[in-house]
Every structure is written in C-alpha cells, then in structure tokens.
Structure 1
Amino acid sequence: MPVELSDLYRSLSTVADDQDPTHPELVRRYADRRARVRAAGTGLTVALLLGGVAVGGRLVLAADGPPPLPPPADTPGPTATGSVTPPSPTPSATSSSATSTPSSVTPTRTTPSGTPPAPTTGAATPRPPTSIPDRAFFVLAAANRTGMESQGEGAMLPILCGARHASDSAVVQRRGRYLAYKLAGTPAGNVPDGSYRHTITIYRPGRADDALRELRQAVRDCPDQRLPDDTRTWRQRLLTSGAYGDESVLFEMRAPYPEGMGDPGAEEVRLVRAVRIGDVVTVLWEQGWEHTAAVRSQVDADSRRAVAAIENWLD
C-alpha cells in the first residue's frame, strides 16, 4: 500500500473519531488520482527541462558564429544519382549577351590559355619622303668653310663610258649644290683646296639599291676613258668604301696632270662616294679646284657629315 494512503488512514482515524470510514474505495480512488497527477507533473517537468536544454544549445551554437551561407545562384548543386534526370541549365546573362552581339564586331583573338595576347609595341613603318629640304644637306666643319656655296643643276655622277642607269626612271626628287672647301691649316685668303658636287636623290621604295648596283657595274665596265675637251686618259676603279649608311660605293678617277702643272709623274685624283640610306642616295663627287688632287681623309670626314644630315632629316 502506498505511503500516502497509510498517512491518510491515520489522519482520518485521528481526526474523525466519531465517524466510520464506510467507503474505503473512495479514499483509495482519491489517492490513485493524486498519484497520477504527481506523475504527470513530473513528466511535464522533465519535458520542459529537455526543451530548455535544446533551446539553450541552439542559442550557444548560434553565438559561436553565423550559419553557413547558401551556395551562389550559379553554383551547381550536387548531382542526383539514380534515374532522376537533372534539370536543364538556365542560360546565363553572359551567354545571352554574347549571342546578341552584332556580327560586325570583331572577336578578340585569344591565346590557347584563354587570355588575350599582349598588344604589339613595334614602331610603325615610316612613310618614304617625297621632297628634299635644305636641312638634308650637310654643313662643312668650321675649319673647312670658305663661304662659297651655290644651289644649281648638274650631273650627279661623272661620265662613265656613256653608261645609262635604268634606276633614273624611279627618281622621285633630286636636288644638288656646289660648295668649295679648304683643308685645315690653309692660310686665310688662299684659294680653296677642293670642291664638291653634292646631290641627294629620293627613289621609289625598293629602287635605291638598284642605283648603287648599276653604279658598281658602270665602274667595272669603264676601266679607262677620255673625257670631252680633255686629251688625257682617265682610269676608274672601285675602292673599299667603308661603313657608310646602309651601303655605299667609292671609286676613284686618275689622270696625269696637264703639261706644266703638278710635280713630274704626279696624277690628278678625283673621288666619288655614293651612300644609300633607305630610299635616299647621296653622292659626294670631289671635283678639285684648278687641278688639285682629292684627299681621302677629307672626303671620308665630309661623307660622314653628309650621312648624318640625311639620317637626322629622315628621323
């Protein structure tokens, strides 16, 4: 018998001395109901405790850090296995814009790695010149100047056995001048030590080298000749020109001094150098002054000045 029931009987016997407990089953039913109520209360208390623990644990986890973010919209989810067919992908905005690009737009070329190639930094090809300015002509060194210079027409080269040059048909423009020079150390007031016929010629693209090739051949084909109004025989030969411009040709012309001039057995010497710089050819023809002889070192120095002036003009 439960303890509560015994206590109840004792209480009843003590308090109600003059009453007879004629219905003990009522007392037992009351005790059983009270026991069930207490059991239900105990279960409810346990449930509340478990619920509080769960809620508290969830709060603790939430305090430790934010919940994981959902995957981006364009990130594919895990692939379903089995017979379930995955949904067809939705076209992205990029593909839609690519298909709507007008056909006139040139697509960007890419390398095999998918990255666009680096832009080309090479310099653009310069346009060939069509006219010759005054600054294309060189200036003599201060020690060689005489102040005697003039622009004028004239032959670019000496006569070489009447040779014809097919490259003349490719000339765009040609300008020339005459200038006299003196050697360093020549006293002031003396006559010049020599003179030049200096010409500059622009050829059509790719034809300037023909002019130098034809000149070499003309010198080879004319080892000696007599010039008009001259009884002497002139001899021509090619010389080693050296490094001038893109290519150059140097040849000499020799003849004995006229009778009564110069030292016995000495020869009058003329030097001619043609230099190509791209499609431009400059010719320095040393013509002397009253039968003087050309000095190779002076012609070389003035040739370098002539090339430098043209290079500065073309840059």
Structure 2
Amino acid sequence: MSRELSELYRSLAAHADGRTLTVPADLRRRADRRARFRITGAALGTALLVGGLATGTGLVLAGDHGTVAPPAAVPPPTVPASPAGSAPPAAPTPTSAPRTGSPSPTGTPGKSGTTPPRAARSIPDRAFFVQAAGNRTGMEPVFRDTDALPALCDARYGSDAGIVQRRTRNLAYKLPQTPRGYVPDGSYAHTITLYRPGRAAEFLRELRTAVRGCPVQPGVGGGNASTSRPRLLADGDFGDGSVLFEIRTPVRDIDGRPTGDDEVRLVRAIRVGDVVTVLWEQGWEGTSSIRSQVDADSRRAVDAIEDWLR
C-alpha cells in the first residue's frame, strides 16, 4: 500500500470515531419530514403553474376580443298576459263611414238620397227635364213669367220670403200613340223654385194647408165653369216629399148646361233638398190630365234636378 493511501484511511477513521451514529427513530423522522417538504413543494409549484397558465390565457383572449364584457343582466320576470277580454280597449281609429246619402241642407236625409253638395245660387236650363221621345210634339218649351200654382181661395205662402230664384216654362206633350203633327194631348206649367235652407219644406206644408182650406174655388177651369173643387190625393215616393192634388171642374156645353163630365187638372209639387219643382198639368182644348203621364214626367223632373245638384 502506498504512503498516500495509508494516510487517507487514517484520516477517515479519525473523522468517523468523532461522530455519534444516528439511531433508527431519528432517521425515520427525518425521512418523513423530507417527504412532506417534497409533497408541499410539488403542490405549491403545481398551483403556481396553473395560475400562471390561466392568467396568460385570459390576457391572450382579452387581446384578441377586446375588453371582456360583464355578465348579462338578468332579464325581468315576464308578466303573464291578461285574460281575454280584460285588456283595455284600443283607441278607435277615425274612419269614413260609407254614407247612404248626404243629409239635406235642412238636416233631414232626403228619400231621393241626393241633396246639393254646395249651395245652389241660380237655376240653369238643364235643371228642367227633357221629354221622352214619344211625348215630343215638335213645339219647343217657352220660358215665361207666369203663375206656378192655380189659385186656392185666398192662400198666401210665407215661404215665398225664402225664394232665391224661380223659373217657369210652358211645354206641350202628346201621348205615345198620338201621331206626330196632331193636336197635343196636354201641356204643363213647369216651375222650379230655389229656396233658402228650410223654406222648401215649409212651402210643402203651406201648400197642403191651402188645399185643405179651399174645398171650393170659384172661377177656376175656364170656359163656362163657375166653381172648381180642389182635393188632396195620396201620392207616391217622389224626391224628399211631395204634394199631389186635383182640381175638378164640371164641364158645360155651349149653352152653359152641365154635361155630367168633369175636367180634371193634376198639380204635383216635389221637394229635392232646397228645391221645389211643380208640374201643373193644364190640358189642351178641354182635355183632362192623365195620372200615368204626370207620374212619368214627375220622375223625369226629379232626375233632372238631382243631376243638376249632383
């Protein structure tokens, strides 16, 4: 053995002899403590690693998408719908109701359904009806300043104060079966009167009263007749109201003796709004009025006025 190796062994033995050997229990406690230190250190390292990863991920996401929005607000609870029929009524929507006819200027809807859309100021020629082809005689109507009605005792009409304008024409007619060129079968004094609002209806009331208040009219009918008998008749549906009456006069021969026949004149006044048209059938050389012809011409007269006022 070399000299260096012998000195190394002697030094090692001297060092070992100066230390006390550790008992087994102490060795076990030291081993357990080291194990706990290793476990705690490993757990702490793992936690730090996970926290660092989470923080880094959040920073990366925030950089890609901007500021992270806070959690959405919780929506308010939904209120149950009201039971059917308990909801408040909706506000009505203004609408234009279809009307079945304009009200008349007097405030009362007319039967004819046609009243002036604006106040008429004058009566044009077109307000007068055109005769049917079968009734034309070839004689042109003539406008004249003449009476609109026959005399009815001493009747006066307060509605005259409301007249705006009045026009009258005379026209002859023939029946369809009468050949052209023959003597006419009758004639009319056809009058149209424009009233201020309300006065046309007043005129019809006054006319009815006048007819009822005049059972005998002296001197009406011409010829040798001395008296006539006005009488109201039931009327149909003309315009916004009408009055029909007859004037019946006994027919006498050339010597003045009654023949037993009557000459009959028909007069009809028809209101359309604030307008009144009067057809006074006056005959021709002693002929009497024919109701069917007067009715037909009355309807033509109403149609012409409605066309004018439309």
TM over 0.5: yes
Q: Which of 49, 69, 72 is the equivalent residue of 1:69?
A: 72
In the alignment, is residue 290 of structure 1 matched against residue 285 of structure 2?
yes
Aligned to 2:197: 205
Question: Which amino acid letter does the alignment assign opposite residue 39 of structure 1?
Answer: I
Identity rate, percent:
58
Q: Secondary structure at the match of 1:307?
A: helix
- Match status 1:240 vs 2:234: yes
- The question of 1:165 aligning with 2:160 is answered no
Determine helix, strand or coil for the equivalent of 1:179: strand
What SS does the corresponding residue of 1:257 show, helix, strand or coil? strand
Structure 2 residue 126 is matched with structure 1 residue 135: yes
Give the secondary structure class of the aligned counterpart of 2:122: coil
d(CA) in 1 for partners of 2:259, 2:151: 27
Q: Hey, what does 2:6 align to over in structure 1?
A: none
Which of 244, 247, 253 lines up with 1:253 in the alignment?
247
SS of the residue corresponding to residue 168 of structure 1 reads helix
Matches within 5 A, 1:1-315: 20=16, 22=19, 34-44=34-44, 47=47, 69-70=72-73, 113=88, 115-122=90-97, 126-148=117-139, 149-227=141-219, 231-232=224-225, 233-260=227-254, 264-315=259-310
Q: CA deviation at 1:244?
A: 0.8
Q: In structure 2, what residue type is equivalent to 1:254?
A: R
Matched residue type, 1:143: G
1:216 CA drift (Å): 0.7
Higher relative contact order (CA 8 A, sep 6+): 2
> Gapped runs of 5+ residues in structure 1?
1-16, 60-65, 77-111
After superposition, the Cα gap between the structure-2 partners of 1:113 and 1:141, relative to the gap in structure 1 and judged at 3 Å, is: same
Aligned CA RMSD, in angstroms, stands at 3.8
Distance 2:88 2:138 in 1: 67
Q: Deviations over 1:84-105 (max 9, x none)?
A: xxxxxxxxxxxxxxxxxxxxxx
Aligned residue pairs: how many? 253
Q: Deviations over 1:221-240 (max 9, x none)?
A: 11112227754111111111
- The 3-state SS of whatever aligns with 1:269 is strand
Shift of 1:192: 0.7
When the two structures are superposed, what TM-score results if normalisation uses the length of structure 2?
0.69
Contact 2:189 2:280 in 1 (8 A): yes
Amino acid at match of 1:20: A
Q: Is the 8 A contact 2:269 2:276 kept in 1?
A: yes
Q: Distance in 2 between matches of 1:252 and 1:223?
A: 11
Give the Cα separation in 1 of the matches to 2:38 and 2:71. Answer: 44
- CA change 1:50–1:298 in 2 (3 A) is same
Distance 1:184 1:68 in 2: 98
Q: 1:23 to 1:54 in 2, by over 3 A?
A: farther
- Judged with a 3 Å threshold, the aligned counterparts in structure 2 of structure 1 residues 177 and 44 are, in CA distance, closer, same or farther, namely same
Task: Please give the per-residue CA displacement for 1:147-183, whole angstroms capped at 9, x wherever unaligned.
Answer: 3211221111111113111100011111221111000
Task: State the alpha-carbon separation in 2 of the partners of residues 67 and 258 from structure 1.
Answer: 118
CA distance in 1, matches of 2:181, 2:285: 16
Quote the residue 1:99 is aligned against.
none
- Give the letter aligned to residue 239 of structure 1: L
Identify if the C-alpha distance between structure 1 residues 272 and 20 changes in structure 2 by more than 3 Å, giving closer, same or farther: same
Say if 1:153 and 1:68 are closer, same or farther in 2 by CA, change over 3 A.
Answer: farther
